[in-house]
Each structure stands twice: as structure tokens, then as C-alpha cells.
Structure 1
């Protein structure tokens, strides 16, 4: 199976109807598709009455296609939004995403939706497996797209839907979208009483919904179709144990204290504010971006694995989320990155990766002579970027905050939730996190003239933007309580690295006016960050004590009451930050997870305790 998804070949009827050649079925009928969506799906799910008085409403859909159903729901939401703070969340699945040009052509049939379709086309994702998340806070609308085969992505998603649009191609032409397991997954991801609507009345669909706990009824069809189905979840299934603390319903958190004003804290604050929450930043430094996020420049590029694993997809998801969040912000410059192999083993790894790339040619290609060219990567200037992410957020600096996790208070103020986004300091509050400290030093200078953006990487990296030149960084293990310090040894190590890269400005590194900066990077033993709910350590070990004897974890994880962690980013803080922020904001605001379950489990703090129990070390 190719790591990139297949984009369908589209045939166009004379009236503009798009037809998927492989499926032999239409996406919609030109001139009638929007009316059909409104009749079959919106009215079929009782909308807009169903979201009246609601502050949050989630629609899930099988088969994103052209995005027409999403746009119709968005359009109706704008007309009938229950309040200025209410949010519509739309979750959809697609295994064969349309090319941007085909989607734009298809949606051009509906000029009344042009303002919305233009905004969707502007962020239309490429054929990259994973989860893409977009938000339009001005309208209170979010879109979460699971891009993969539905049999893989559906059971790996986390949310509870208030309504369902079942809209694959017809069951006779696309059996995979109507497989028996699909109805079980729909039931498991529904709130009690959730309606579901579909255009088909096929017997297998009626039986599948009924077996999954839905009451099913035929209704008058639209246009040339005599009948359609309306269903409602009458018998919800028993929930599965929430071992990692990912999906148990929580009270919406409006006032959220965030400890730390680096990229982790700024990203969390930005994502929370987009969802209408009121984040408050606390940091003992004099301002944002003072610790590990405070270098003059940083590089956002993907870390690509040759194998198609959950971790590999997670890293791609995080990179694309960062690129989406930073686009157009101050202190962000797009650039290509030349990544040259360090040795023969890495050369072989690059060759294997390019034989089945996880990113399309618009983002990744081979370098002549070996290596990778990462296109549309980013050079960031934290001193400009972080203030833009924190715009409009209440911020407190200059004193170490007095934190009581048990009462969720900071400096005596009570909050609905607390986020530990303070690097190594998170380990002081929760020592069992086992955070490791790494000293990272970069060196920098100003060249004699401005230059186009430039980046090279091979274990170390070298950046140029304007007159600034920066290279490094070291990553040396130190004691957690170490005060950051620069050293000649680290400067020499960085100099050797940049000489091996040999950028065009190599002479500038021999200037007498070289500055250095060092900071601690919090990392973990498995090199994945800690993002998610903080377990109650002692209660967790007691609840899952049977794991020491080989028993499975089969209960809800005991958690600290609305305490969350966003730390352990290592040297990739600017890559992890936006993805982590969106994950935490969704959890705290009751929105669908903008990530797969396997990704959330891979970064959940609970994994540390589960692993220790399984290995008999806790």
C-alpha cells in the first residue's frame, strides 16, 4: 500500500456533474446536488432545529468527496448559529481525496457558496495520510478530515457525534463505505439519540443500522429517488474503558491557566482562544519565548521515517499542523531545506523513503547526488512569532507562580483546567514524568549583507534569513536542575557541524562577532512528547496493578482533575507546538480530537505508567 493516497480520476458530464471513474458513480448531480444535501442530510437530521440552543454541535460524515455537504452545513450554521460563541464541528473521512483543482471545479457549480468554498479550497489538503484539522473561529466552525482507508481511520478516531451524514457512493458501487463494521463504529461514536441520514434504502444499510442500535425509518426521497433513510440511535453501546484518558466527557473548560510562555504554552493558548476559551499565561521570565523557544531563529522541517508507522504519521501530522498554523504570521519565512545524508546508512534510508514517500512532490523530492529537498519548510523567528500567537491572551510574567494542582489554583485564582507547558518545570510538579534535560546551544552572527532564506540540515542545521546566520544545535544530556550555560566546547561542536554542511556563508562563522545561546530542552526516554491528561499517579498504579501479573488494562484511567501536560518536545518544539495545542484545546472544549487515537495514545502521559506496570517497574 502506497503511503500517499490515490487521487481519483474525474470524468465530467456535459452538465458539470463530476463522476469518479473508478467507482462509476457521481459525487452529486449538477444543479440539484445542493438541494439534495439540504433535503437528505440537513433536514434528514432535523437541522437546524437540532442545534438550537446548543453551544457545541458535532456532525460526522462518511465520504468527504467535494466537501459540498460540509459547505451546506457551514452555510446553514452561519444563518442559524445559536449564539456568537457556539461552535459547529464537522468530522469527515476520505480515502481518495480530490485534487484541489477538481474540487474547485466541482464546487464552482454553486456560486451561492462561493465565499465558503473559496475558504475551503484555500486550505484543501494534499493526498497525505493522516488527520488534517482546520478552524474558522469567526464563524465558529471546525473541520477534521481523516484521510485514509475508512476501515483504518474510522476505528482510530475520537469524538462523539450529534448527527451523521452517511454519504459514501452507492452501496452497490462502493462496498467498503458500507461494510458491516461501519455501523458499529457509527454507534460507538454517537451521543444517545443521535440522528443519521442517508440517500440509500438498501436492505444491508437498514439492517446494519438496526443491528447497531438505531431505529430506522424510510422517508420520502429527493428528486428522482423515491425514498431515503432516517435513523436515530435508540440503544447506545456500552463505552469502552478509557485507559489513556482520551475520550471521557469533561466539563467544558473556559478559564484555563497555562504555565509557560514558550511555543508549547503559546500554541495551547492560541488554540484555546480560537475555540472561545479564556487562557491565562503564567511564566516567571520577563516575557514570552525566554527558554528553549527563545533562540533568534528556528527551523520547522519534517522528520520522516522510512516505515509507515503510527509514529511516522504522527510526525507528519504535527509538521503539517505547524505549517498551517504559522502560515502568514510575523517572523515566519518559507524556505527549502537541503538535507544531506550523514553516512551510508542514512543514504539507504533516504532511498527507501523516496521509493514510497509520505509527502507529495510539492513538499519532497530527491537531491541530485543523494539527500532530500524539503520544500515549503519554515524558518521562524520566535521573538516575532510567539507574540502573534499570544495576541489577546492575558499574560503574567516576572514571578514564579504559586500552583496548587489539587485545587486547580494559580496565585490563588481558581481555573477550570491547568496546562503544564513549562518544559522541565513540569517535571518538578509531576516528578514521575521522568523528563530528561538536554542542553542545546546555537551560535549566530550577522553577515555583511542580506540574503534569501536558506536552510541545510544533517544532524545539525544552518540557517540564513536576511543578514542573520545561525547554526547548531548541541543536544547534550545534563542534570534536570542545571542552569543553562554556553561553552567553547559546544561552539566547537557546532562549528564542525556547519563546516560539514558547508553553506555559502561559511566564512561568516569565522567572524569575531559570534554570539551563543543555550537553553534546556525537555525530552523523554522514547523521544515522543507528553501531550494529554495527567494521570493520578498513585490511583493509576492501584487501578492497573493487575498489569504486573499480565492482566489487561480494562478500566478508566484515574486522572488528576483537569490537569494536562504539554512538554517533552526535545529539539522540535516549533514542530510539535501547534499540533499539541489543538489536541489539548479540543479535549478541554469538548471538540472532536484533531488526531487519531493511535497518535494520542503514543503521546499520552499515561503511556509512561502503563509501560512501567507492564515491565514490572512500577
Structure 2
């Protein structure tokens, strides 16, 4: 998997932004916005076609400065204001970009247009603070959803699943940017286009026209913008079939749009699922057998930070996308007050030995995060960190991290008019009704279109989840009355948070299949020993202070990824995919079948604070047949059906 790259930019005397890499301008100051309107909007029959569907999907190759998006959004906004599209209509705008600009660069470029000067503040609110490979799904205003797909389009386009009603083929000149205008990309543009979808591009290059014809478009040349003689427009007449190599992970579009939802579990995972469903207009009941945030989400505060790795993997993509989503959510919705519920204070990873230093420096060299000091090397002696004896190493400072109070986060998520909370309510069983809804206990009359099980290890009580290998890991942390002197969090063999509400939180132990609920003195001693090794100065300040222990139980699976998504139909899987155990991967298998309307948000382990929020958003996107907030390979990696497939391949079922 490749990442993103920094654009090499120069600014002309007239303010025009130019790419040194592709030797081309991003747009012309004179007529740049008009060219967008002529080539991409008029070329696709917009804005008139906005009225065709409740949800209109536009896809773009090359986000660049965001000019095409900005012009399109303003035209969509105008159509809504004039009543030309319904108030609840949605515009999904998907844009691919390998060389993303920073927020400051985008604002400087777009600031050249007087007509947009009052709109640039929205980029301050919504544009990602830290850029990395992957999917960045942003809930804009006016019913607009901007999905930035950052990475090489040749890799990323096959990781997306949507049906575009209109395509903007932008990017730099095909002669200068041959890596983007490829047969593979043309082929996937066809696969990702809706029936009667359209395409428009500024170029009239013959190989582009032939490539799009080969992908299923009827193409024609029309008058180009300004002095340009010709450009291309087209209409899709192909089948748009995607043959996936892993059909057992294919998720069919829901038959109905859910109206009533049930969430089982009142921790981060459950509250996040309830919020994401309610945001889409679902009326949600959340049932918790104890009280909200009484399980693993009851700690005073928890850590959020990205996954630090040299190579991209599905696990790294999931955690890093989740961390981005958490930061974005907190930035938009957390209410400032005198006692903060979170602080993006940064997380320091000390290098205890030479091996640590080499690994951390490789992470920095990999340059996965662009624009801003998301990850940087810090020398010894900063902020109370003191190296152990005979150790000459510094550490890694991660600005894209900090702490949050999970109980207050749960309260904020549930503070939604579409959510009703029922504490001390235990769901004893799930029943599929004759009208294809879900019912629960005999004394509960309401039935539901969608159910999300998010009650950690208690999910094992439901027979439909017998296929999921859930287990418990006990963890104990120490809340110490005192100040460590740190202004940021530290993560190593143990973690410690800066003083919160007069306490320093230090943790945590890791005890698989340990169900002991009592606080253990020896666990506190181990935590303090680890702290002394990593942060002797902080240990010195806290070693004799009063402390209280807190025991929690993490829910985990067989691998290091959570279980998020649809619940597989076990009977179907065991019948349809039996040949997998004989290695027959070339056979055309049926698409996977799942129990309609039933989802899980489970097994987030020690990263539940980060992972649970993205899990809720992924489930809501699946339930509403939206563009997913993660790549297809990542959605497959967290799909609960993976455990059934593994058993079948091993001949265990």
C-alpha cells in the first residue's frame, strides 16, 4: 500500500498556484470558476439534474484546491434555497487526490476569488487537520457529504463502492500526469457509475476518449472553454458490474431505509452507533442493563492516538481513520467549558533503547502524515521526560492525540433528540418477526428495522452471535492524587495522562481471560515499576501519593481488529462456501448473506475510545447504503464474517 505525497508548489506573481511536478497550473485566476461551471457542471447537465434523485453522487479525479467542490457546493446551496431540490436532499461528493494541499494552501489559492471569500471559513471547520492515506468522510453543510479519498487513484478507486451520477475528470494534463489517466482508472470509473450517469473532462485526448468508451461510455467532443477548441462529455450505457474476489464480504443494499433503531449497550460503541443512526433521522432506543458508561467506558479519561507503523496495513488504516474521525468529531461537537472533557495535548512515545529509536525514525521517514507536525522526533529532557541511565535516546511526539473523558463523551453522543435512553433494561433475546423486523423481550412492544449489538462481552448471550470468538481481557489502572508534571500524555510500556481533575491516570495491566473484579495491590506495583522505567521524574512525584485502582474488562477477538458490521447468516455461509476448504477460490461464489438489519460494534479492546466511534459511523453508513467512511479492504478486515470464512477454510465447519 502506498501513501500520499506532498505537492511541489510555486506561486506566480499574479497569485496563480502551479505544480512543479506536473508543470501545470491548478486553475486560471481569470475564468477559473467559470471554467469549472462550463466544463464540469454544464458538461454533466448540472444543476438541472440535481432534481433527479434524493441523493445525487458526484465523483472527481483530483481535488486540488477544492475549487470544483466549492463551485458545486455553492450551486447546490442555491438550488436548495430556491426550492429546486428538496430540503432533505443529499449531495455526496467523492474526490480522489494523491497530492493533497494543506488548509493554508487551499485558502490562499481560493482567496483569489472575491465571490468565495465568505465561504473559506467552512474549510477551517471541516478540512482535515492532518492528512494521511485513506478515506476522510466529512459532513459538510446543506446536506453535502464530502468524501476525500487520499492516495494513488490506481489503488484507491477499487477500494470504493458507490454509483456516481456525474464524474468530473480533472487533474493535470494527461500528457503530464500519465499515472492518473490509466486504463485501470477508466475501467473503474465505468464500474462506479450509475445507470444514465455522465462524465465531463477538459481534455479531448484520443486515448482518454477511447478509454472511456471501453469503460462503457458513449463519448463526444464539444466546444471547450474559452480558447480551448474541444473537450469531452459522455453518458454511461454499460452494466457497471463489480466482480469482487471475496464475495462473502459483499454487502447488499438494504431493502428499506430504517426508521426505528435499537442499540444494545451504553458504552462508547453503543452511544456512537445511536448517534450516527439518529443523525440520519432514525428514531433510536438505547437499552443498557446497568447505567450509561458503566463498563469499559467508565474510566476517568482515556487515550486517543494514531497507530504508529512503518507500513500501511488494514489495522493501521482502521485505527488512523478512527483517530481522525474522533478528532474531527470532538472539534465540531464538544462544547467548550471551564472543565474540558478532552485535550488534544499530544502523546509522547519514549525510545527506551536503540531498537525503539530506529523504529520511530523509520516511522518519521515513512512520512504517512502530511502538513503539520503530526509525528516528530523530540530530544531527551522535554516536558518532564528523563531518559533512563545509559540511554541516549529521545522519543516520538504525536500531536494527533490526547485524552478524553469517556463518560462525558457518552453523554454528548446521547444528547440527541432522536435518542431515547433506557437504563436498567436488559435485552434477553432477539426475535425476527414475520414482517422482517426485530423484536426483543416479551414485555417490549416496539419492533425495529435495525438493531446494533454493542454490549461488549455480554453479546455472547445472543445465539445469532455464536460465530464470533469474543473473549475478555482484564485491565487495571491507577488514579493517583497528584501532578506528574507532564503537559501531554506518554505511551510506552505503560501510559500516563497529564493531571485531570486533580488526578494522574496511569495504566494499564493486560490479563486475558481474567475475570477478577477486585483491585490488586500487585497490579498497582507493576504499573508504578513500569512508570519508573519510562518516566523516573514523574514516578518520583507520584510514588507516595494516595491512589485508587480501577478494574475494567476489554472485549477482544482473535485478531487485533474489532468486529463491526453486518451479522452473517451462518447457515448460508456453511452451505455456500464449503468449497473454500478445498482451495477452490476461482469458483464463482454467491454474494454473502447477512441477517437483515442486524449489526455489531464489538471487540474494540484497548482502543474502544477511538475505534467505537468509527464503528458506529460505519454501521450507519451500511444501513443507509452510503459511501463507507473506510476503504473496502478495511471494511472487509473488520467484517464479522471473517471468522466464519476462516473456519470454513480450515475445515472446522
| Fold match (TM-score > 0.5) | yes
Paired position in structure 2 for 1:293: 297
User: CA 1:260 to 1:326, structure 2 compared with 1: closer, same or farther past 3 Å?
Assistant: same
Paired position in structure 1 for 2:394: 370
**Is 1:398 aligned to 2:424, yes or no?**
yes
Paired position in structure 2 for 1:518: 551
Shift of 1:493: 2.5
Paired position in structure 1 for 2:439: 409
8 Å contact from structure 1 (residues 405, 418) kept in 2:
no
Shift of 1:152: 1.1
Shift of 1:245: 3.8
- Alignment match of 2:467 (pick from 407, 426, 432): 432
Shift of 1:439: 0.9
Distance 2:76 2:395 in 1: 48
- Alignment match of 2:239 (pick from 220, 233, 236): 236
SS of residue in 2 equivalent to 1:443:
strand
Shift of 1:605: 0.9
Paired position in structure 2 for 1:10: 9
SS of residue in 1 equivalent to 2:359:
helix
Matches within 5 A, 1:521-540: 521-540=554-573
8 Å contact from structure 1 (residues 94, 145) kept in 2:
yes
Range with greater deviation from structure 2 (83-92 or 119-128): 119-128
TM-score by length of 1: 0.93
SS of residue in 2 equivalent to 1:177:
coil
Paired position in structure 1 for 2:342: 332
Distance 1:607 1:153 in 2: 22
Paired position in structure 1 for 2:276: 271
Paired position in structure 2 for 1:462: 496
8 Å contact from structure 1 (residues 158, 247) kept in 2:
no
Shift of 1:530: 0.9
User: CA 1:301 to 1:503, structure 2 compared with 1: closer, same or farther past 3 Å?
Assistant: farther
Distance 1:590 1:571 in 2: 30
User: CA 1:485 to 1:191, structure 2 compared with 1: closer, same or farther past 3 Å?
Assistant: farther
User: CA 1:285 to 1:201, structure 2 compared with 1: closer, same or farther past 3 Å?
Assistant: same
Matches within 5 A, 1:19-58: 19-52=18-51, 54-58=53-57
Distance 1:440 1:522 in 2: 11
8 Å contact from structure 2 (residues 531, 539) kept in 1:
yes
SS of residue in 1 equivalent to 2:120:
helix
SS of residue in 2 equivalent to 1:168:
coil
User: CA 1:163 to 1:280, structure 2 compared with 1: closer, same or farther past 3 Å?
Assistant: farther
Runs of 4+ aligned residues of structure 1 deviating over 4 Å after TM superposition are 342-345, 449-452, 507-512
Distance 2:429 2:110 in 1: 51
Distance 1:435 1:325 in 2: 28
User: CA 1:503 to 1:398, structure 2 compared with 1: closer, same or farther past 3 Å?
Assistant: farther
Matches within 5 A, 1:134-149: 134-136=138-140, 138-149=141-152
Matches within 5 A, 1:104-143: 104-125=107-128, 126-136=130-140, 138-143=141-146
Shift of 1:122: 4.0
Paired position in structure 1 for 2:534: 501
Paired position in structure 2 for 1:541: 574
Could you list the per-position Cα deviations for residues 149-168 of structure 1 after superposition, in whole angstroms to 9, with x for gaps in the alignment? 11111112222222211112
Paired position in structure 2 for 1:421: 454
Range with greater deviation from structure 2 (355-364 or 82-91): 355-364
**Is 1:75 aligned to 2:74, yes or no?**
yes
Query: What is the number of equivalent residue pairs in this alignment?
Result: 612
Distance 2:90 2:40 in 1: 19
8 Å contact from structure 1 (residues 322, 578) kept in 2:
yes
Unmatched runs of 5 consecutive residues or more in structure 2: 336-340, 380-392
SS of residue in 2 equivalent to 1:270:
helix
8 Å contact from structure 2 (residues 103, 123) kept in 1:
no
Shift of 1:381: 1.0
Distance 2:470 2:641 in 1: 14
Distance 1:403 1:72 in 2: 51
SS of residue in 1 equivalent to 2:345:
strand
RMSD over aligned CA atoms reads 2.4
SS of residue in 1 equivalent to 2:558:
coil
SS of residue in 2 equivalent to 1:239:
coil
8 Å contact from structure 1 (residues 245, 533) kept in 2:
no
SS of residue in 1 equivalent to 2:40:
helix
Shift of 1:70: 1.0
Shift of 1:244: 4.3
Paired position in structure 2 for 1:379: 403
8 Å contact from structure 1 (residues 244, 604) kept in 2:
no
Shift of 1:10: 2.4
User: CA 1:278 to 1:115, structure 2 compared with 1: closer, same or farther past 3 Å?
Assistant: farther
Shift of 1:511: 5.0
Shift of 1:127: 4.4
Matches within 5 A, 1:203-352: 203-241=206-244, 243-250=247-254, 251-286=256-291, 288-327=292-331, 329-330=334-335, 331-341=341-351, 345-352=355-362
8 Å contact from structure 1 (residues 85, 276) kept in 2:
no
User: CA 1:254 to 1:478, structure 2 compared with 1: closer, same or farther past 3 Å?
Assistant: same
Distance 1:132 1:512 in 2: 44
Could you list the per-position Cα deviations for residues 51-110 of structure 1 after superposition, in whole angstroms to 9, with x for gaps in the alignment? 316332211111111111111121122222322322211111001112332211111122
Distance 1:508 1:450 in 2: 6
8 Å contact from structure 2 (residues 251, 592) kept in 1:
no
**Is 1:577 aligned to 2:612, yes or no?**
yes
Shift of 1:604: 1.0
Shift of 1:507: 5.1
**Is 1:551 aligned to 2:584, yes or no?**
yes
Could you list the per-position Cα deviations for residues 218-260 of structure 1 after superposition, in whole angstroms to 9, with x for gaps in the alignment? 3333222233222111121333256244442223323322211
8 Å contact from structure 1 (residues 261, 422) kept in 2:
yes
Shift of 1:272: 2.7
SS of residue in 2 equivalent to 1:584:
helix
